[in-house]
Amino acid sequence: MKTNAVRLLDTLGIAYTLREYEVNPDDLSAESVAQKVGLPPEQVFKTLVVRGDRTGVCLAVIPGNTQLDLKALAKLAGDRNAQPVPLKEVQSLTGYVRGGVTALACKKDYPVYVDELIEVFDVIAISAGMRGLQVLLAPADYLQAVKGAIGAISQSKA
């Protein structure tokens, strides 16, 4: 299955593996996806769409078992504050539906901020641009593909 995200990786010559999984529309959580693809939740990264008060829309990529630290993201992005984009705007901004959002081959070239925990792993999983498909690749390759900036932008779930 070739999504735009996968085609981008092919164009860049980046090695990856695809993992398909059964989609449960009632549970699109990263923890659920991690279980289905056989990885720990901290190794499956989720992509969130956020809007900063100065810089506008950006993408935040964090481990599946964490939540976004909006203050830390705002600081890293050069904003005073940042808020998640309403779900109804996500598809028009990114070209992707909830549960399939990825920074790879996004509709526009938004700034991408990736949590520093990505550097702990040899391989991470990220959405391949659709529900039911994850792409596994080396963190350095992912960061290169999305031109990601690294920072401490996640925190433990409350």
Residue 23 has pLDDT above 80, yes or no: yes
DSSP sequence for 22-54: ---TT---HHHHHHHHTS-GGGBEEEEEEEETT
The architecture that CATH gives domain 4-156 is: Alpha-Beta Complex (3.90)
Q: How do the domains of the chain map onto residue ranges? A: 4-156
> Comparing C-alpha atoms, which of 2, 92, 90 is closest to residue 46?
90
Q: CB 28: neighbour CB atoms within 10 A?
A: 15
| Euclidean distance between CA atoms 87 and 71, whole angstroms | 20
| Euclidean distance between CA atoms 91 and 101, whole angstroms | 8
Report pLDDT digits (tens) over 60-114: 999 999 999 999 999 999 999 999 999 999 999 999 999 999 999 999 999 999 9
